[in-house]
Structure 1
Amino acid sequence: MTTGHIPTCDLFDRFKDAVRYVLPGLRDFGAVTRFFGPVVTVKCVEDNSRVKELLATPGDGRVLVVDGAGSLRCALMGDMIAASAVSNGWAGVVIWGCVRDVAELAALQLGIKALASMPRASTRRDQGLVDVPAELPGATVLPGDVLFADEDGIVLLTAEQAAGLK
Structure 2
Amino acid sequence: MRELGVVHTAIERADPGAVARLSALGVATVHEAMGRLGLMHPSIRPIYPGARLCGTAVTVLMQPGDNWMLHVAVEQVRPGDVVVAACTAQSHDGFFGELLATSMRARGALGLVIDGGCRDVAELERISFPVFSAAIHAKGTVKATPGSVNVPVVCANTLVEPGDVILADADGVVVVPAAKAAETAAAGEAREAGEETKRRRLAAGELGLDIYQMRDELRARGLRYVD
Give your verdict on TM over 0.5. yes
The structure whose RCO (Cα within 8 Å, separation 6+) is larger is 1
Give how far 1:32 is off: 5.8
Larger helix fraction of residues: 2
Letter in 2 for 1:119: A
* Aligned residue type for 1:54: A
How far off is 1:12 after superposition? 2.3
Name the structure 1 match of 2:116: 97
Q: Percent identity?
A: 28
Q: Is the 8 A contact 1:90 1:110 kept in 2?
A: no
The structure whose Rg is larger is 2
Q: In the superposition, relative to structure 1, how do residues 163 and 135 fare at CA in structure 2: closer, same or farther (>3 Å)?
A: same
Count of residue pairs brought into register by the alignment? 164
Runs of 4+ in 1 over 4 A off after TM superposition: none
Is 1:49 matched up with 2:81?
no
Counterpart of 2:173 (choices 146, 150, 154) is 154
Contact 2:82 2:113 in 1 (8 A): yes
Quote the offset at 1:10 in angstroms.
Answer: 1.2
Greater mean alpha carbon deviation, residues 6-15 or residues 146-155: 6-15
Give the counterpart of 1:83 among 89, 92, 102: 102
Where does 1:1-166 land on structure 2 (aligned, <5 Å)?
1-4=18-21, 5=23, 6-17=25-36, 19-29=37-47, 33-45=51-63, 46-55=65-74, 58-68=77-87, 69-72=89-92, 74-164=93-183, 165=185
Given that residues 55 and 82 in structure 1 are in contact (C-alpha distance below 8 angstroms), is that contact kept between their aligned partners in structure 2?
no
What TM-score comes out, normalization by structure 2 length? 0.66
Which of the pair is proportionally richer in strand? Answer: 1
SS at 1:81's partner residue?
Answer: helix
Structure 1, 21-30 or 146-155: larger mean CA deviation? 21-30
> Counterparts of 1:148 and 1:124 in 2: how far apart (Å)?
29
TM-score normalized with structure 1 length: 0.88
Task: Give the 3-state SS of the residue equivalent to 1:16 in structure 2.
Answer: coil
Unaligned runs of 5+ residues in structure 1 are none
